[in-house]
Amino acid sequence: MSFLDHIHACNRKDLSLFKPLMINEQRVGWVRSTFEPELARFPQVVRLDHNAVSLSPALSSPDLRSAAIAEVFATLASEGRCPQPRGELYACKTSWSAPELFRIDRAQVSYLGIRAYGVHMNGWVQTADGPALWIGRRALDKKVAPGKLDNMVAGGQPAGLSLVENLAKEAAEEADVPAALVAQARAVGAVTYCMEGSGGLKPDTMFCYDLELPADFTPRNTDGEMVGFELWPVRKALEVIAAGDDFKFNVNLVIVDFALRHGILTPDDEPHYEALLTGLRQPLP
């Protein structure tokens, strides 16, 4: 596989299979046409027509929408028509800085195709041979990508937390990084992608951070979601990415972004350099 293949894999979708999800004539998500019959059972919450799926205008506030959507998905989950809730709420927004329109459980976000956000932190060490990354391995009981390789710290963005608050929380849980050290992390941009999955559509934004770590620091998982860490030269990580699917699907993109920004992949040695630069920041539908 090439690095570009991983970008293409994270952006496979057919929007002709989806209808816009609307609130007051504003598109906020996407609903797969085959999921419409499930939503049609709740006319007090959802209105369907030929062109769109709309939330009822009677749901005039974020709290009313959140409560109604939670009831819909609680019923569907009890019937096995969608996953059981995970107990972590995501905020529906049209952009990161936009106001919340409603909240929905993380497990059910893709069924409405709303934008989801997350944080990824590259824990790296400067060595005599160049930058090295702390690479984690996900626990085998993880619902998504069990046993796959991962960034040192990564997590979805729950409603009600700032990005830096979430980064500190995830860093403590996943790698036992002290708060004073996390505070030194640099925001370095974002990677975006939109892929079709079993539940629906995933338009995702991963806010990326770099944290240069002291040579004597070793990450240690505290929440059971990772089974261990290894310090790899970035070029080794790139070789593994190019060889197949050992990393969680979206982590490939974060590491390629790191390699581009740190000059490990250059225009002279990477034939898809320009396509990688644009492919890592896809316009989200």
| Domain range list for the chain | 3-11+116-279, 15-112
Question: Which pLDDT score is estimated for 1?
Answer: 87
Average pLDDT over residues 187-195: 98
Question: Which pLDDT score is estimated for 51?
Answer: 94
Residues 6+ apart with CB under 8 A from 263: none
Q: Which fold has domain 15-112?
A: Transcription Regulator spoIIAA (3.30.750)
Neighbours of 90 (CB within 10 A): 23
Question: Which pLDDT score is estimated for 212?
Answer: 98
Give the amino acid at 50.
H
pTM of the predicted structure, to 2 decimals: 0.96
Q: CA-to-CA distance for 264 and 137, rounded, in angstroms?
A: 23
Q: CA-to-CA distance for 34 and 18, rounded, in angstroms?
A: 9
> Residue 166: pLDDT band by 50, 70, 90 thresholds?
very high
Question: Which pLDDT score is estimated for 226?
Answer: 96
Is 61 a residue whose pLDDT tops 90?
yes
Decide the pairing of beta strands 53-55 and 18-23. parallel
What is 3-11+116-279's CATH number? 3.90.79.10
Contact 136, 174 (CB under 8 A): yes
> Residue 168: pLDDT band by 50, 70, 90 thresholds?
very high
> Residue 192: pLDDT band by 50, 70, 90 thresholds?
very high
Contact 250, 148 (CB under 8 A): no
Q: CA-to-CA distance for 140 and 103, rounded, in angstroms?
A: 29
Average pLDDT over residues 134-152: 97
Average pLDDT over residues 249-265: 98
Decide the pairing of beta strands 201-212 and 186-196. antiparallel
Average pLDDT over residues 26-38: 97
Q: CA-to-CA distance for 188 and 209, rounded, in angstroms?
A: 5
Token output for 202: 């995933």
> Residue 208: pLDDT band by 50, 70, 90 thresholds?
very high
Average pLDDT over residues 49-64: 97
> Locate tokens 């059971």: which residue?
224
Please choose, from the candidates 45, 55, 44, 65, the residue with its C-alpha nearest in 3D space to the C-alpha of residue 20: 55
Give the amino acid at 265.
L
Token output for 8: 């293409």
* Widest pairwise Cα distance in the chain: 64
Contact 246, 238 (CB under 8 A): no
Average pLDDT along the chain: 97
> Residue 40: pLDDT band by 50, 70, 90 thresholds?
very high
Is 137 a residue whose pLDDT tops 90?
yes
Q: How much of the chain exceeds pLDDT 90, in percent?
A: 99
